[in-house]
Amino acid sequence: MNEASLELLSLLDIEQLELNLFRGIGTGGETSTRIFGGHVIAQALAAAYQTVEERSCHSLHAYFVRPGNPVVPVVYQVDRTRDGNSFTTRRILAIQNGKQILTMSASFHVNEDGFHHQHEMPHVQGPEGLLERAELRASVAEQFSEESRLQFMRQRPIEVREIAPRDFFDPPSTSDLNHLWFRVPAASLADTKLQQCLLAYASDLNLLGSALRPHGITWFQNTIMTASLDHAMWFHAPVQFDQWHLYSMDSPFSGGARGFNRGSVYACDGTLVASVAQEGLIRKYRPKTP
């Protein structure tokens, strides 16, 4: 089993410091230079879950306030906003060095029956036969410096297989439609709450890249600065994230140095398990004047 996947489970097992106060480790996971946005969202949700009983998260709304330092622990302060008959609301602050790096609200709901409909899962190639993320990266690793290559090729916790991977350095302009399969093998060890936290973590993967596709740019060209600004997620059905899930994404709009992106997460049987929306910064690097 992927050691990075097991490490991710341990990163989401956050420590309780005091009533409504928790601490998580920032290092590990997708990045080593700054805390991955999905990492903070997942830990914030894990903190909220420690104050909620017998209810499941149905939605969360987060704002990224500052970049996180991966070598500094993150403190999560949970405000018990409301405990109603059917819904529970929590507000979570993620804090480093006395400053907020993320604010998030999450709502939890009792299990209820109701009317049901959903959009069908897109008809796309299955994960079998697609190259894994590590294989794609290995094919171009020699184009990086030795130091950058170690970061580029480090083991990551989420297994990703893109349906139409782009050239890392010189991609053509293409549709904003963006499909990939992903899973966390170690999720077979996770309970229902942790399954949601893992999917929340993974939902920040490749989403902002949807807004880059029509413009023929990638992060590896060093011509743009990008950052997630906010992140919203709705859970529709139980998650079993050790199984493959399709992440179907698009970007209806970009402009004003921002890109808007949407995502739908489907289980292999076609069940829509979650929906995602995010706006991100996409800023051109400005050449320095002499």
* Active site residues per annotation: 204, 228, 278
Residues paired with residue 105 on neighbouring β-strands, in sequence order: 61, 91
Inter-residue contact 163 to 122 (CB < 8 Å): no
Q: Which of 71, 78, 30 is nearest to 51 (CA)?
A: 78
Please give the full DSSP string across 29-57, using - where no structure is assigned. Answer: TT-SSS--HHHHHHHHHHHHHTT--S-EE
* Separation of alpha carbons 115 and 286, rounded Å: 51
243-276 exposure pattern, b = at least 16 Cβ within 10 A, e = fewer? ebbbbbbbbeebeeeebbbbbbbbbeeeebbbbb
Rg (CA), the chain: 19
HSE toward the beta carbon, residue 48, CA cutoff 13 A: 35
End-to-end C-alpha distance for the chain, whole angstroms: 52
Sign of CA dihedral 105, 266, 260, 5: positive
Inter-residue contact 247 to 75 (CB < 8 Å): no
> CB neighbours (10 Å) of residue 32?
14
